[in-house]
């Protein structure tokens, strides 16, 4: 699945109020063909942390740390687990004040993702949650989301107004050099796959492999129409996700309030073994 490092051991400290089971260094153990799979059905919160390297006009090369908050519901049949997501927010933090970008929460919460199929597998008796490449197109409806080219013009019939603000695609706020501020209206293709360890029935932590593609259809300032390149940071350990079970009452505000706790789970001591091809 994820062609990067996999987690070998993880120690957790300071759950900061989470009523989770006691967390050890090893995942749920299940050996043999008859071993039961852990029941992951129910409500979860997921946080994804990713780092991109971008080469921007005027500003130059920067890094952008992105944190995505998701509430999701899992249904399970044997080793297959299907998640139905609801986006809460995306926070982007560039490495320089010369560039700022923001996707309003209303935009993220207007996206309607298709269900994601994942699989439980055994890895030396540890239970892992793995997801093959999942593709999501934002701001347009494509017949072939995997291979069809993204729209480049605002009047392309495939373009939709994601949040209903009267502009094509999804609205992104941006500022360059602290002087030029405005909005860009974009379509995006986001692809990712997951490889995580099921530590218990309430906690999953792992790595995320991802790519993104974006076209700006229109903008309030010509500066935001300039083309740029970006790529995934080549260090696979910088791209992580964590999932914790919730009681189903969580909202986007709850998830944002608990974000430091979730990031603490993700950032505690990790020993990573480089195993190409796993």
pLDDT digits (tens, 9 = 90+) for 26-85: 566 666 555 689 999 999 999 999 999 988 777 788 899 999 999 999 999 999 999 999
**pLDDT given at position 33:** 58
Using the 8-state DSSP alphabet, how is residue 222 labeled?
A: G
Residue that the structure tokens 């480089």 belong to = 274
**pLDDT given at position 55:** 83
Using the 8-state DSSP alphabet, how is residue 114 labeled?
A: P
pLDDT over 60 at 9, yes or no: no
197, 27 Cβ separation under 8 angstroms = yes
**pLDDT given at position 27:** 63
pLDDT over 80 at 13, yes or no: no
Neighbours of 103 (CB within 10 A): 23
The values of phi and psi at residue 107, to 5°, are -70, -50
Q: H helices then E strands: how many in the chain? A: 3, 13
Residue scoring higher pLDDT (17 or 248): 248
**pLDDT given at position 99:** 86
Average pLDDT over residues 181-194: 94
For residue 72, which of 212, 250, 254 has the smallest C-alpha distance?
A: 250
Q: What does the alpha-carbon distance between residue 113 and residue 84 come to, in Å, rounded to a whole number?
A: 7
Write the burial class of residue 185 (CB in 10 Å: 0-12 exposed, 13-18 middle, 19+ buried): buried
H-helix or E-strand spanning residue 107: helix 105-110
236, 49 Cβ separation under 8 angstroms = no
121, 33 Cβ separation under 8 angstroms = no
256, 81 Cβ separation under 8 angstroms = no
**pLDDT given at position 275:** 30
For residue 199, which of 134, 270, 250, 254 has the smallest C-alpha distance?
A: 270
**pLDDT given at position 277:** 33
Average pLDDT over residues 164-183: 90
Q: What is the pTM of this model?
A: 0.84
Residue that the structure tokens 């699945």 belong to = 1
Q: What does the alpha-carbon distance between residue 43 and residue 73 come to, in Å, rounded to a whole number?
A: 5
Domains in the chain, please, with CATH? 6-15+40-269 (2.40.160.20)
pLDDT digits (tens, 9 = 90+) for 210-252: 999 999 999 998 877 776 777 899 999 999 999 999 998 999 9
Residue scoring higher pLDDT (144 or 176): 144
For residue 200, which of 15, 23, 64 has the smallest C-alpha distance?
A: 23
Average pLDDT over residues 101-117: 95
H-helix or E-strand spanning residue 136: strand 126-138
């Amino acid at each position: 699945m994820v062609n990067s490092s996999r987690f070998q051991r993880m120690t957790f400290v300071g759950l900061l109020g989470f009523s989770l089971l006691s967390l050890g260094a090893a995942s749920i153990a299940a050996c043999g063909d008859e071993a039961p799979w852990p029941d992951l059905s129910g409500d979860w919160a997921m946080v994804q942390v990713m780092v991109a390297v971008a080469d921007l006009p005027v500003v130059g090369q920067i890094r952008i740390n992105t944190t995505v908050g998701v509430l999701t519901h899992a249904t399970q049949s044997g080793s297959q687990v299907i998640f139905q997501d609801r986006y809460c927010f995306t926070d982007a933090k560039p490495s320089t004040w010369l560039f700022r970008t923001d996707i309003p929460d209303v935009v993220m919460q207007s996206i309607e993702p298709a269900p994601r199929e994942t699989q439980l597998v055994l890895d030396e008796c540890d239970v892992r949650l793995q997801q093959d490449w999942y593709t999501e197109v934002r701001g347009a409806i494509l017949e072939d989301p995997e291979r069809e080219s993204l729209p480049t013009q605002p009047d392309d019939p495939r373009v939709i107004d994601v949040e209903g603000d009267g502009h094509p695609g999804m609205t992104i706020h941006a500022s360059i050099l602290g002087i030029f501020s405005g909005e860009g209206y974009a379509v995006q293709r986001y692809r990712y796959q997951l490889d995580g360890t099921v530590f218990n029935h309430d906690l999953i932590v792992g790595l995320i492999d991802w790519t993104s593609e974006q076209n700006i259809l229109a903008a309030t300032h010509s500066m935001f129409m300039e083309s740029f390149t970006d790529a995934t940071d080549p260090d696979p350990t910088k791209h992580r996700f964590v999932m914790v079970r919730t009681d189903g009452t969580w909202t986007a505000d709850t998830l944002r309030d608990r974000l430091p706790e979730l990031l603490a789970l993700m950032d505690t001591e990790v020993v990573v073994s480089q195993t190409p091809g796993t």
